Structure 1
């Protein structure tokens, strides 16, 4: 059986009825965190919630259940249905198939960008309205200083925006970014840098720099730049633009094109290593 989540407020369930309980159909192997261990629903939800940085109340609000429901599941007092498990995991920023993987929903990014940059007039979607409402209910937007609110919004969005899990993202053998950019310019392909490399324009926080590009079409851009798919070693990542990530692209001195400032912050919070430190430093710099 495979489970995936369409969003924190909805679920997609294959080959199981709504009333089926998780303990009846599934022993969960989560190699990423506990190699060789079998996790039950109680431990899985507890780990996913803690990894997502959510309190029981916050997870409950995002999943549309009561805090006591989360508590009872984690204590082993309630056996959730498969769809309830799926919904709670998605609320915590994870999805389940053969293993526990980051759950990606770019409507969360759109929500944060809309709240941080109202001047861009990004259209609302059903998904962005959902996140705005649930974040408000969970206290993420209440009574915070402007800097703390911005930091919280970006972290919340990043929870649902893992760079490695972005739809259509591909890794290619590393190549100098200027050569890639030159090739894309010659081919007339849109592009912008984001992530750790782009963050260097705003902060001196040291980190392993892997180049990440937003592009119009991944396959076409890779062909134009002569990139080859890579599963190991240094790599460059190409991620397809969407309406949100393509908004606010800027060109800086030297010809580099960068994603919007707040998009880079969100993408760094969604990255690994010291990328979240870069993001935090960028937020601090924005409010000096």
Structure 2
């Protein structure tokens, strides 16, 4: 953990209080940063507070890093619906749903309250960072950060260089991630980047296997874990990420590349329509209601 007086970005805005936003906030607070988490409703923020408490408990049970003071971590995070609170932040990480219209609205609000020199980082799994940057008045200060879930446990982040991203902004992003104890791997901006151009295809094809009754969800995942040494199978991974997020991402890839290999599996669409979004809804390819 960096010493408090050596933190370059002491106050960080985190937009979106879903699974990823809460994970980013927790990871930042654990490394000594003050965090302001913004979302649209008090109900969402109350759920985020519960997820944060669970995330801290999980870290204390499983985390291999330095011990943390759970009370101090919690006290470093403020949950609010008020964008005006972001006027004093030194860096912003945006984590809203993979819907372009929502992201446009968020960045318009950020532009209105954040200082001109503040860098914006989009934590997106598929949407072009260049496209997001073009919707702001500071495209040179726009960078992508694709965090992995669960954020506090994952040591590596894809750092995405968009068309207009300046070398200074890229370096700023690397320093910011280093303060979080994360290793940055710099990649160029194409929808899906490296990880999700491969992962979303794998998950989508695994859902086709289930739809075509080639194997059960359990056996699909067993093969990936037993044959390839993966810690989780593709369908377990989908439940962890959220089936709605998987569908949004594969739809963005399909639209971006106009390539039929990214066509969403009909079963995936049906499950999302049914509200079976994975762990966060209690059911997906597996049932979590009794766990």
Structure showing the higher helix proportion among its residues: 2
TM-score by length of 2: 0.31
Pick the structure with greater CA Rg: 1
TM-score by length of 1: 0.31
